Chain A
């Protein structure tokens, strides 16, 4: 049993599986984006603004960080690709090809990309609704994400789940009951500690879910046993239609565990997210116990596709966030200022992202609906299931 757990947690450490190629293969393709000869391993120094972090019962992380040009371009590429993917999902929903519930992370790209850039495949992530971006950065292909939304065979959960039910190695979903995923994250972290794996689990939830009792139950267990767990509150200011201040007695989410130190981060700045996650990994894996991290971010769209997102906040507010705090625009500015790439080179990346997403959408659309056998698969462990699953009427049963 132990061996199984260990191998699951370590699977991504020992091998660099092919499934991860899309997310991690950028090193080989990066130079092609540069019009001129560029040394992609050349380092650039970045100093974060003082306002990037607020802390609770700990010292602020360093504001200085260093990236290779390649790493910066990788972040940019993932962010624009992710946004393009979500725009494609939006269009497919509006074209009635995606049905049901669909929660887009447009505006919150710096969170998943910044986090992924700071961790390795041995670190684990779990979240609730807005999960498309995490699925992508953890190695899920765009085709499999769009395919899931469309309910196709190529979908990452075989089309059985849809928007909030996406998973990839090292990414435990995508959960439909908000808050329920948080103690799961603590459990994953416990196995890391149990097996002495020097890795961390990021257990994410939104400002809306932050008030679920389970969150506090998980805080307590994590601190009691000093688990390498980072409780990440993705604060996008609104839990569905309710603003943070109307749902939470304290909106200082990073302080809400009391006995667990916390850090508040500008979640619209991918570099700040990177630095905070790197810091959090060092903290938790050095035996200091859990951390609470609040990532201040913003979703441009409504909670789901049926929410226009403008009844509980003003259009001006959304426009203001888009024009002053957009994570992609912000990163673009850094890239140009730091001479990492030119505007033209970035445009080429944008164009390429669009092409990649368009192709993935086409492939997903071409994928058939899943075979009916998938209807009965995955309910029980193969070989241990009941003899049959009963259907709608006595004569209709599926025999395994």
Chain B
């Protein structure tokens, strides 16, 4: 399964030979190093490590004008900060879910109960369907319900409440009632060792459901702004938090209250030849894949787009990009069949058919359940994404 790149240098060949010798051991502990790029968030150029970098973002122009203070936060702390602001600025807002008043299993709610009281930040029984249904009821009265489902894998007991109650309340009551105040936060995606029920990324199930919005941030700054926007958006929102980034992604996050727009993709890197689209933690695999591709293929320049919100899909930004580049690579962790990349592919084909220079490439998880021991074979890793970029370039 180890794919060796064509143009390895001698030293790389040596390195790869030693990897091959100990392939089994490597597989057990860590992915083999490829071309010196360590996939992941730690060395990402997309992470804003200084205040200046953080505030250079035009979407945060009002923030830097008003109050430029930032603080170093990881993703779970940024989520915490957003909820803290939501609780402080909206007296109808409450936070609830399994173990949240103790801070939650990932610590995203820590300190909130102490700060805002246990009547506003409270534990629920283990009852996902109940949690969401309860939130729909609260929201129907116009309150702000911030529910946590402990793992995205546990959202399925609540599937009916989301799909049939939350999503359709406005439509089926002709606008008399809605569940707009409901936001469901839930940790998703692989974490290196989660197995069947602690690793899934189920965004596509919900993207298929008119009436809910689906959001997945890539970093702490994004998480805070998008979560505040999701909480205040008067539509039910499912907010997926890639759990591997909770501690790994650390940024200088504006201290103040700010929102980032829902339904607006962000171009993270400009490029002319290939459009590369992803969201959540997959962005970092794509960033590395682009670095590798641009190093391997002289002159190549790729454009990287973070969707940020899966629904509403910002197809304009993608189509505009693909009309320029003529090539598209999409990557996500969820299985390929019926995955959200299929929707993007189809939408892009409708708009960019005559501009496409190569078949659109989807790099996704396998069409298998999420396996414990085979996780590294399952993941749409940097090398796979690189291959796809290479393929569309050479087509």
Give me the interface of A with B, judged by CB distance under 8 Å.
Answer: 99-101, 151-152, 155, 159-165, 176-180, 208-209, 211-214, 239-242, 246-248, 306-307, 311-312, 368-370, 372, 374-376, 379, 389-396
A166 to B365, CA, bound (A): 24
Interface residue ranges of B113-132 to A (CB < 8 Å): 123-130
Interface residue ranges of B155-207 to A (CB < 8 Å): 156-157, 192-198
Q: B374 at interface (Cβ–Cβ under 8 A)?
A: yes
Q: Which of B46-54, B291-299, B380-388 contacts A (4 or more CB under 8 A)?
A: B380-388
Q: Which of B77-85, B98-106, B346-354 contacts A (4 or more CB under 8 A)?
A: B98-106
| A160: B residues at CB distance < 8 A | 196, 369, 371-374
Contact A369 B126 (CB under 8 A): no
Closest B residue to A149 by beta carbon equals B372
Q: B154 at interface (Cβ–Cβ under 8 A)?
A: yes
Q: Which of B5-13, B14-22, B307-315, B356-364 contacts A (4 or more CB under 8 A)?
A: B356-364
A276 to B47, CA, bound (A): 59
A391 to B388, CA, bound (A): 13
Residue in A152, A161, A211, A246 whose beta carbon sits within 8 Å of that of B195 in the complex: A161
Contact B337 A390 (CB under 8 A): yes
| A212: B residues at CB distance < 8 A | 126-129, 157
Closest A residue to B99 by beta carbon equals A241
Contact B196 A375 (CB under 8 A): no
A395 to B359, CA, bound (A): 12
Contact A211 B130 (CB under 8 A): yes
A307 to B124, CA, bound (A): 18
Contact B373 A390 (CB under 8 A): no
Contact A248 B125 (CB under 8 A): yes
10 A-B contacts (beta carbon < 8 Å) = A151-B373, A159-B372, A164-B195, A176-B197, A179-B126, A208-B125, A211-B126, A239-B125, A247-B123, A390-B364
| A151/B197 contact (C-beta < 8 A), A177-B157, A240-B105, A242-B98 known | no
| B377: A residues at CB distance < 8 A | 372, 375
Q: Closest CB of chain A to B258's CB: distance in Å?
A: 32
Closest A residue to B192 by beta carbon equals A99
Residue in A152, A162, A239, A306 whose beta carbon sits within 8 Å of that of B126 in the complex: A239
Q: Closest CB of chain A to B117's CB: distance in Å?
A: 16
| B336: A residues at CB distance < 8 A | 390-392
Contact B384 A392 (CB under 8 A): yes
A374 to B377, CA, bound (A): 12
| B89: A residues at CB distance < 8 A | none
Contact A176 B153 (CB under 8 A): yes
Residue in B193, B195, B379, B384 whose beta carbon sits within 8 Å of that of A393 in the complex: B384
| A312: B residues at CB distance < 8 A | 102
Closest B residue to A99 by beta carbon equals B193
| B368: A residues at CB distance < 8 A | 375-376, 379, 389
Residue in B126, B195, B379 whose beta carbon sits within 8 Å of that of A101 in the complex: B195
Please name 18 further chain A to chain B contacts, defined as beta carbons within 8 Å, in addition to the given A165-B196, A389-B366, sorted by A numbering: A100-B193, A100-B372, A160-B196, A176-B195, A177-B153, A177-B156, A212-B128, A213-B157, A214-B157, A240-B126, A242-B123, A242-B125, A372-B377, A390-B335, A390-B367, A391-B336, A392-B364, A396-B384
| A369: B residues at CB distance < 8 A | 24, 27-28, 373
| A164: B residues at CB distance < 8 A | 195, 197
| A208: B residues at CB distance < 8 A | 125-126
Task: Report the contact-size class of chain B (Cβ under 8 Å from the partner).
Answer: 35 or more
In the complex, the 3 A-B pairs of residues with the closest C-beta atoms, listed nearest first = A176-B197, A151-B373, A100-B193
Closest A residue to B381 by beta carbon equals A392
| A368: B residues at CB distance < 8 A | 24
Q: B65 at interface (Cβ–Cβ under 8 A)?
A: no
| A240/B99 contact (C-beta < 8 A), A212-B127, A372-B377 known | yes
Contact A162 B127 (CB under 8 A): no
Residue in B24, B102, B126, B192 whose beta carbon sits within 8 Å of that of A209 in the complex: B126
Contact A392 B380 (CB under 8 A): yes
Q: B66 at interface (Cβ–Cβ under 8 A)?
A: no
A178 to B225, CA, bound (A): 33
A376 to B368, CA, bound (A): 7
Contact A391 B366 (CB under 8 A): yes
Taken residue by residue from 128 to 159, chain B's Cβ proximity to chain A (1 for < 8 Å, 0 otherwise) reads as: 11100000000000000000000001101100
A119 to B255, CA, bound (A): 61
| B369: A residues at CB distance < 8 A | 160, 379
A395 to B392, CA, bound (A): 13
A375 to B376, CA, bound (A): 11
Contact A392 B99 (CB under 8 A): no
Contact B373 A370 (CB under 8 A): yes
Closest B residue to A152 by beta carbon equals B373
Q: Closest CB of chain A to B300's CB: distance in Å?
A: 18
| A176: B residues at CB distance < 8 A | 153, 195-198
| B153: A residues at CB distance < 8 A | 176-177
Interface residue ranges of B314-345 to A (CB < 8 Å): 335-337
Contact A213 B127 (CB under 8 A): yes
Closest B residue to A368 by beta carbon equals B24
| B374: A residues at CB distance < 8 A | 160, 370, 372, 374-375
Closest B residue to A247 by beta carbon equals B125
| B154: A residues at CB distance < 8 A | 177
Closest B residue to A246 by beta carbon equals B123
| A375/B371 contact (C-beta < 8 A), A369-B28, A392-B363, A393-B388 known | yes
Residue in B335, B359, B372 whose beta carbon sits within 8 Å of that of A162 in the complex: B372
| A99: B residues at CB distance < 8 A | 192-193
A176 to B198, CA, bound (A): 9
